[in-house]
Amino acid sequence: MTLNPKLHIRTMKQEELSIAINWAKAEGWNPGVHDAELFYQADPTGFFVGEINNKIVAVGSAVNYDNNFAFCGLYIVAPEHRGKGYGLALTKHRLKYCGERNIGIDGVLENVGIYKNIGYVPYYQNYRYQFNASHKTNIDQNIIKISQASLAQVLDYDRQCFPANRELFLISWITQNDAKSLLYMLDNEVKGFIVRRKCHQGHKIGPLFADNDQIAAQLLNAIQTDIKDETVILDVPGNNPDAINLAESLNMEVVFSTARMYQKGMPNINNSKVFGITTFELG
């Protein structure tokens, strides 16, 4: 019996994050064109590589958002090195990095059993919906671009819908190139916001947070005015029936799904306001 060489795991250098993104592209995950630089903002020490003979054979992230919450993702083992235990070794390293935090993942459905064995519990599914953008003219007058003046309110709103403060990342995410970021303002209060980013194929929407499905629908309406006929992807949480109903009412098509899993229970957020998650990689 030939033993596989021992995996050397280390923190990923910033310039190496493009390797992980390119691997994700090869896997058909269709990452955003600026994801490498943006993901790094979430936790510069939370990205890891596994090496064999100084060659990277596995990648994965473990973003520690604060002292209580982390999210693991961007987990890929090179095809020729799968089945050798390298993925599990890298995962254990990432779990150790997260410490005692509650850790979330969006796991592929066929691997749910594996994730259960290392402490994750499935709570619901996220559904990736796809549709073609159409030109809209009846834009709600309460919808405006996110600006420096409104940023603080947007960050406060995000905290209702996400388990931790992610200010540095979210500011970079909202203001990224080739993107569009809008909010719904009523009586000088933010009632929802949406971000659209350019991907290698089409565009992804996320997050889409809103007080109700009517506001979410208006934000969706406004975000696609300038990309008529282009492919748009929205990742919808299955634990918000209004979000599922909205996607179905707009004739979106499910093309993929994941299991949202946590190590220490469901975070205390306002799930009824989450109509589209930010990314499968970062939560």
pLDDT in tens, the chain (283 residues): 445 788 999 999 999 999 999 999 999 999 999 999 999 999 999 999 999 999 999 999 999 999 999 999 999 999 999 999 999 999 999 999 999 999 999 999 999 999 999 999 999 999 999 999 997 778 999 999 999 999 999 999 999 999 999 999 999 999 999 999 999 999 999 999 999 999 999 999 999 999 999 999 999 999 999 999 999 999 999 999 999 999 999 999 999 999 999 999 999 999 999 999 999 999 9
Superfamily of domain 8-125: Gcn5-related N-acetyltransferase (GNAT) (3.40.630.30)
pTM: 0.96
Q: Burial letters for 216-243: b for 16+ Cβ neighbours within 10 Å, e otherwise?
A: bbbbbbbbbeebeeeebbbbbbbbbebb
Q: What is the rounded CA–CA span in Å between residue 250 and residue 224?
A: 13
Query: Which residues does 199 contact at the CB level (< 8 Å), separation at least 6?
Result: 30, 31, 32, 33, 233
DSSP characters for 184-233? EEETTEEEEEEEEEEBSSSEEEEEEEESSHHHHHHHHHHHTTTSTT-EEE
CATH 3.40.630.90 holds for 128-276: yes
Q: What is the rounded CA–CA span in Å between residue 168 and residue 13?
A: 19
Domain boundaries, the chain: 8-125, 128-276
Fold match flag (8-125 vs 128-276): yes
